[in-house]
Every structure is written in C-alpha cells, then in structure tokens.
C-alpha cells in the first residue's frame, strides 16, 4: 500500500530541504498530550511494553517525536504517541527516570497540515478496517475543504480516483469504505470500531435502509 507520507512531489521535497535545520527540544513526557486526531492508538499494554523494552535496551528514544505547541507549557503529539507511552511506562513502572524527557521537533503548522501529518504518521501502521475507513474519510474531508493546503496533483480528477491512486487502494475498496462511513448507523459504527463486526458485515448493513439496519 502506498504511504500517505509519500504523496508530495519532488519539487516540494526540494523546497522542504531548503528549510533551516530543525532544532530538537527535550520535553517531559507529562507535557506531551494525545492528539485528538489520532485514530490508531496502541491496542494493548503488551505493545507498549515491547517498545519500552527496545527503548531501554537502546538507552534512548532513537527517533524524535513530532509535536505542536498547544498551551504555554504543553504540546500536542503529531507522531510518537507510542514512544511517549513507552517512556511513561519506563519512568512510572520501572523507575527509570532517565527516560523522563523525550527528543521532540516542535512544528509550527496549520491545523489542516497537523491533521494530515497525523494521517501520514500512521502510514506504516497495520490498520484495522475501521481505521482505514477513518483515514479515507478524513483525507477526503481535508482535500475537499482545504485544497489550497495540498499539492496541485491532489486537486485533479474524481475524488475516489485521487484517493485510490494516492493511498494505493483499489477504487472499489475506497467506494466501499465511503459507503460504510456515510450510511452505517452510529450503533453499528461503534461495533465496527470495536471490531465486533467485520468490514463485510458493516458494508452489508450500510447498504440497507435505516429501518432495516435497526432491525438487524
């Protein structure tokens, strides 16, 4: 599957390379807050413990977190939620205070670009069907409402084709997720989110009238 982080063209990559060198800021884990746009949280403690083991073995957080300032003394995480939780575990459960501060790059970007970067940061994450649906729906919303924030290449053609091409997903699959997103009733959507019903069942329900969905 194509990665959302790779959608910009070479010209824009060159422009980004001309920017001044980024400065790393060391921030206490308690000052780093979950981004409300994050839709791929750690699914269980075992995942965080495994990451904590790797960080402890390396002696440091190797990859910088990407954050934006949300308050006078707080930062909203764009990429690095799991690294933050792993360090919290190392400090609070294992007493390893050397992991209290995490290396962060503070970004000054628009709300739209921040939302997009959260999507892009999950590009290498194995997603559940609900998370993929969310990604498609949110990407479509950003492209429709804020086209000026994105490359010209993402502003041409039918939306379903643009999403299919840029996300590396079959057009029919994109349309199926769009149908689920637009037509599935809230009660069923919650079960889809929790993994209680699979994509095929969610799609079947979404194709039914509201009254029949409720009966089912």
pLDDT per residue as tens digits for the range 153-184: 777 888 999 888 877 889 999 999 999 999 99
For residues 205 and 216, give the distance between their C-alpha atoms in angstroms, rounded to a whole number. 8
Distances (CA, A) of 62 to 14, 55, 56, 107, 182: 25, 8, 11, 19, 40
Q: Could you give the CA distance from residue 155 to residue 211 in angstroms, rounded to a whole number?
A: 37
Per-residue pLDDT of the chain (216 residues; tens, 9 = 90+): 445 555 444 444 444 445 556 789 999 999 999 998 888 876 678 889 999 999 999 999 999 999 999 877 899 999 999 999 999 999 999 999 999 999 999 998 888 899 888 888 876 677 889 999 999 999 999 988 988 888 777 778 889 998 888 778 899 999 999 999 999 999 999 999 999 999 999 999 999 999 898 888
Report the C-alpha gap between 40 and 58 in whole angstroms.
25
What's the CATH number for 127-215? 1.10.10
Q: Write the DSSP string, 82-101.
A: HHHHHHHHHHHTT--GGGSE
Q: pTM of the full predicted structure?
A: 0.69
- Domain ranges within the chain, ordered by starting residue: 20-109, 127-215
Domain 20-109, classified CATH 1.10.287.3510, yes or no? no
């Amino acid at each position: 599957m194509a990665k959302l982080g790779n959608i910009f063209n070479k010209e824009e990559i060159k422009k980004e390379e001309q920017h001044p060198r980024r400065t790393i800021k060391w921030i206490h884990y308690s000052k780093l807050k979950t981004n409300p746009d994050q839709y791929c949280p750690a699914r269980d403690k075992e995942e965080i413990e495994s990451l904590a083991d790797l960080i402890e073995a390396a002696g440091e957080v190797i990859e910088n977190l990407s954050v934006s300032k949300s308050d006078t003394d707080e930062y909203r995480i764009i990429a690095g939620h799991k690294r933050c939780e792993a360090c919290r575990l190392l400090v609070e459960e294992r007493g390893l205070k050397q992991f209290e501060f995490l290396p962060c790059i503070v970004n000054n970007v628009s709300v739209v670009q921040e939302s997009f970067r959260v999507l892009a940061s999950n590009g290498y994450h194995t997603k559940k069907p609900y998370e993929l649906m969310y990604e498609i729906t949110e990407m479509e919303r950003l492209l429709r409402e804020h086209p000026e924030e994105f490359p010209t290449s993402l502003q041409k053609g039918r939306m379903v084709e643009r999403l299919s091409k840029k996300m590396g997903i079959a057009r029919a699959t994109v349309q199926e997720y769009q149908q689920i997103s637009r037509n599935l009733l809230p009660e069923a959507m919650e079960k889809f989110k929790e993994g209680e019903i699979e994509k095929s069942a969610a799609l079947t329900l979404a194709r039914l009238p509201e009254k029949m969905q409720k009966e089912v």
